[in-house]
Amino acid sequence: MARNEPTGDRVLKGLGLRLFAILCLASMAALIKLSEAHGARLGEIMFFRQFCAIPLVLTFVAATAGLSSLRTQRIGAHATRTIVGLMGMVCNFGSLTLLPLAEATTLQFTAPIFATILSAILLHERTGWHRWGAVAAGFVGVLIVAQPGGGDIPLFGAMVGLGAAFFVALIAILLRQIGKTEGAGTTVFWFSTLSIPPLGAVYAFQAQPHDLTTWAMLVAIGIAGGAGQISLTAALRFAPVSAAVPMDYSSLIWATVYGFLLFGVLPTTATLIGAPIIIASGLYIVWREHRLARNRAARAA
């Protein structure tokens, strides 16, 4: 076995980290919805999400690549990623306040679908009928979940949820370009740091008194989000993307559990029908991309 080839134990460790990351991010989503119900505003939530995550990110970078790795010659690229990331956060957090947890989570599963479309348009990647078929199937699942014109979820909320998935896909493409020269910890640090000034300005206008429980939830949002980001990054050190990404769909389980325990809401019948179609579409796109990457590597070798 090659020295850098992942062993079974390392892959299991990576999958465990990925599952833990998804639990953290699902917990963050539930806390966002809870804090909003307690009177916290979107600007406040976003500020605490970024501000409270910075110490965790710095600790992770110091323990791995070292703080010197935070130096960058591509501050413009990081600024662009920050702008897109903040727009994505508005849609992501907004969808959590507008929709039940399970429905908001299900719509975010369309990110691989948007990634396929954007890769073909922006990167001019060749996309065969297999993946276009998966894209079409995925959007059928979206129509089932959203039920435009007569569903149980508001159309505006569904559009915001799809917007969140679109920005996730766009950010993934940006990170592919930034990742050619920048480490993951460096990228996360600069995103968190550069987003503080604009979010701080918004927070200055939206800051308001809260009870101790709400303050604790706001801090916990940042800690859970930071821990989730770190675990997502660490997971890919041990497990290949093709094995790690399918773990992301466990978030629907946590969204269902949190939705029922905290808000007394279960997924609608339409979501239970449409979600498997969207998930299958995303998994097929991931598998197809992995297979094509292996074929390209074999031809290059």
* Res 212 pLDDT > 50: yes
C-beta of residue 40 within 8 angstroms of C-beta of residue 217: yes
Q: How confident is the model at residue 52 (pLDDT cuts 50, 70, 90)?
A: very high
Q: Which of 92-96, 180-184, 219-223 has the lowest mean pLDDT?
A: 180-184
* Res 84 pLDDT > 60: yes
pLDDT value at position 8?
55
C-beta of residue 98 within 8 angstroms of C-beta of residue 256: no
C-beta of residue 284 within 8 angstroms of C-beta of residue 134: yes
| DSSP 8-class letter at 99 | S
| DSSP 8-class letter at 240 | -
At 111-127, the pLDDT tens digits run 888 888 888 887 777 77
pLDDT value at position 1?
43
**What residue ranges do the domains of the chain occupy?**
8-300
C-beta of residue 46 within 8 angstroms of C-beta of residue 192: no
Tokens read off for 107: 């719509």
C-beta of residue 110 within 8 angstroms of C-beta of residue 92: no
* Neighbour tally for 61: CB within 10 Å: 22
At 59-79, the pLDDT tens digits run 988 988 888 888 888 899 999
C-beta of residue 141 within 8 angstroms of C-beta of residue 275: yes
Cα–Cα nearest to 109, from 146, 140, 138: 138
C-beta of residue 252 within 8 angstroms of C-beta of residue 105: yes
pTM: 0.86
